[in-house]
Chains A and B, each alone.
Chain A
Amino acid sequence: KDVVLAIHGGTAGPKESLTPEREKAVRADMKRALEAGYAILERDGKALDAVEAAIRVMEDSPEFNAGKGAVFTHEGQVEMDASIMEGNTRGAGAVASVTVIKNPISAARAVMERTKHVLLSGRGAEVFATKEGLETVDPAYFWTERRWQQIQKVWEQEKQQAESLDRKNSAAVDQEREPWG
């Protein structure tokens, strides 16, 4: 009871998969996010500002799957989504499938406050954010070694699966081709 700000940094896999170094970095950045949001609330600021401030800290941290440190798509791109909502007016804003907006949560807020829409996606969202003066970056900004290793592993697994499937299929096809069994 008496919580004024809460955050999450995503679901986590098995505890042993988290190295002490990463745990330290994750905890430090979550604490920074909470401090950034609380500093606003403490001086009578708005919940909306506290939410945006806390999320921006985590988007700028390479430790979380948002902003810098986002995971890669099957094509090796970074495609991000974000939304924000305020409880008094039920105003809401969101962006989806953006690739060059440094802080998607701020773009979501701009959609809420500066358009009559709720959700903008893709190039339209990016053109809007650029025109509104939000910071855009080269997609390479979002690259992190850890995520790149992660997607390489997935691609390698997929390749092996495809090869073993090919072998099975070709064996099956050979089987068929030799009616005498």
Chain B
Amino acid sequence: TVGAIALDNAGDLAAGTSTGGRSNKMYGRVGDSPIIGAGTFAENGVCAVSGTGEGEYFIRFVAAYDIAALMKYKNLPVESAAAEVVFDKLKAAGGEGGVIALDAEGRFAAPYNTPGMYRGYVTRDGQIEVRLY
């Protein structure tokens, strides 16, 4: 699974996710990547989110939207909202995975409960950072 989240100069946020699903999956099995609110979500003024991991958990916990809701209704910063969903909800329920999340001010969070997650970002002045573990 791959994903991207972006914040442009107009202040608009966007998110996208694309996947081959899970290896050896059942014919017709669909995970969270094409499910808006589960694996992908973007709302101006709040955040953009893209997830990766065991899709069934991201769907059941409406993970991507839950991060936005925690920010909107509990005023959590993106870092805490993303961590709460990935560790306190998904991991606690046995769901493996991670997210990348970006708020409207350009704050970035990338929590994951697996051994690693391939992730990277670019800052406004063009600094690129890629991390795998």
Which residues from chain A sit less than 8 Å from chain B, CB to CB? 1-15, 18, 23, 26-27, 30-31, 33-35, 37-38, 41-42, 44-48, 50-52, 54-55, 58-59, 64-67, 69-75, 77-88, 90, 92, 94-97, 104-105, 108, 118-119, 121, 142, 147, 150-151, 154-155
Contact = CB atoms under 8 A, between A and B. Distances in A.
Given A7-B100, A9-B2, A67 B52 contact: no
Interface centre among B15, B98, B106, B128 (most CB of A within 10 A): B15
Interface string B53-88: 100000000000000000000000000000000000
A97 B28 contact: yes
Given A34-B130, A47-B6, A81-B18, A6 B120 contact: yes
B20 A71 contact: yes
A49 to B, nearest CB: 8
Contacts of B52: 8, 10-11
B119 to A, nearest CB: 5
Contacts of B33: 81-83
A37 B18 contact: no
Contacts, number: 306
Q: What band does the interface of chain B fall in when counting residues whose beta carbon is under 8 Å from A?
A: 35 or more
Contacts of B133: 12, 15
A31 B128 contact: yes
Contacts of B28: 79, 97
A78 B45 CA distance: 37
Given A52-B16, A80-B21, A3 B108 contact: yes
A8 B2 contact: yes
